Amino acid sequence: MHVYIQQPWENRRPGLNAWFGTELNRNNTWFEESRSWIDYLRRCCFLLQQGNRVADVAYFIGEDTPKMTGVRKPELPAGHDFDYINAEVILERMSVVDNRLVLPHGTNYRILVLPELETMRPELLKKIGRLVQAGATIIGRPPKRSPSLENYPHCDADVRQMAESIWGGQASSPSGERRLGKGRVIWGQDLAVVFEQLGVTTDFQSEAPLRYTHRSAGGQQIYFVANPKPVKVATRATFRVGNRTPELWWPDTGKIERPAVYQRQGDTLSLPIVLGPLRSVFVVFGDRPAAVERIVSVVRGNKTILDATRAPNRSDPSDAASAARVANDLVITMKEDGKVVGDFWQAGIYAFTNAKGQELAIDVTDVPAPITVTGPCQVTFHNPDHTSKKTIFSALTDWTKHADNEIRYFSGKATYRTRFTLPERWVGRQCRLDLGDVHSLVTSTAWRPYD
């Protein structure tokens, strides 16, 4: 999406459109049904503006122009985040506190990476030298000259002289490091090696390839975790948060859940996460310590279906199938009073183990079998001019393959109506409607008729 264009006419559709981006205006066929999606965006935008970003690395983009972004070299290991920064930020705003590169609003980095360029202005190189003296860790090789003609040719001599004082003339070797004051400069080494030397652990890790960003707001650590694939994912994820209690804030519904299954491991916390196709969740950690009543594993029959006792390791072949131990048919949450509540969608004997090593078994027997909704549907196609066309579908059908051209080429909203019998013992229970593969937007309503 790029713009929202005003649509002044009531009788002209699709109306005024741009030639770029994705259209979003009141003439979209799905616009009247988009409230939940707009609410999802509102919740995401609000939470992603709280506090400060958490990133381990700042990549300096260099001073050559034009310059909109930078390069990540050396490459950033998975599970860490970064920012690109420019010369102005380094010169005017960056300082060092406790060996961290700090900006005035609170964002801080463990490492500053310089690009593989031979140019840097003398005043910027002087500031970098001061940062190293104060305790910063810098990765990169020394510049050789200034990109500016200001004070030329003395500017180039100044650059060479300051580079010699910072790197000590040693940077011609393939790799190495030099300590200067409270900090050091490093060259020719991978970031994973440097992280290990500094004791920087992975901020986020998952068995499945999820995307994330992390913000710190007061006493809360806020992770936005997203499934980039159009398939359901059940995985275990690990967060660098220490001893805290997790909450799942679902931006599509506004619902907050307190998962009961998770485990602490040093300065990290692991928990199972189930995300639908392209779905996302905020994992929020407050100040409360991890509950001693938390569940660390669940076994159904002889199969472990929830396991938070091991950190995820996507690179370990022996652990490759462990994502299967995250059940997508079981939701276990914890109430404020510490009571554990479960939603079971499959019958069986469940054995729970908590963080104290205590075990509890529950026999779940009364789980009704699914009902397949079959039979004809009455379908009403709603035209933009407020007229409609009704037809009967004997089965759910792809419109683009329909024999009727008015349906095959229809673009807009259609209403499906059908009837099915709900068993009496289902009444009052939580039910789930599975629509299968949905390629567009669907809203559904179910009601029970009365005589």
Number of domains comprising the chain: 3
Q: Are 219 and 352 found together in one domain?
A: yes
CA nearest neighbour of 84 among 121, 92, 184, 76:
76
Q: What is the pLDDT of residue 312?
A: 55
Mean pLDDT of 222-238: 93
Q: Are 356 and 374 found together in one domain?
A: no
Asked if residues 270 and 238 have their Cβ atoms less than 8 Å apart, the reply is yes
The pTM score is 0.87
Residue after which a domain boundary falls, among 332, 364, 396: 364
Q: What is the pLDDT of residue 328?
A: 62
DSSP secondary structure of 289-338 = PPPTT-EEEEEETTEEEEE-SS---TT-GGGTTGGGGS-SSEEEEE-TTS
Is residue 141, in this structure, part of any structural domain at all? yes
How far is residue 412's CA from residue 262's CA, in Å, rounded to a whole number?
Answer: 45
- Give the residue numbers spanning the domain of 146: 55-198
Q: What is the pLDDT of residue 310?
A: 64
The residue that leads in pLDDT, 176 or 342, is 176
- pLDDT at 451 > cutoff 50: no
Residue after which a domain boundary falls, among 149, 180, 198: 198
Residue type, 100: R
How far is residue 424's CA from residue 364's CA, in Å, rounded to a whole number?
Answer: 20
Residue after which a domain boundary falls, among 364, 389, 420: 364
Reported confidence tier of residue 367, pLDDT bands at 50, 70, 90: confident
Q: Are 297 and 399 found together in one domain?
A: no
Q: What is the pLDDT of residue 420?
A: 86
CA nearest neighbour of 55 among 15, 21, 83:
83
Q: Are 183 and 225 found together in one domain?
A: no
Identify the three-state secondary structure at position 128: helix
Q: Are 69 and 107 found together in one domain?
A: yes
DSSP secondary structure of 13-53 = SS-S--SSS---STTSTTGGG-HHHHHHHHHHHHHTTSSEE
Is residue 120, in this structure, part of any structural domain at all? yes
Q: What is the pLDDT of residue 448?
A: 59
Q: Are 67 and 140 found together in one domain?
A: yes
Q: Give tens-digit pLDDT for 115-156.
A: 999 999 999 999 999 999 999 999 999 999 999 989 999 999
Mean pLDDT of 197-213: 95
Reported confidence tier of residue 447, pLDDT bands at 50, 70, 90: low
Mean pLDDT of 272-279: 91
How far is residue 142's CA from residue 163's CA, in Å, rounded to a whole number?
Answer: 6
Q: Are 326 and 189 found together in one domain?
A: no
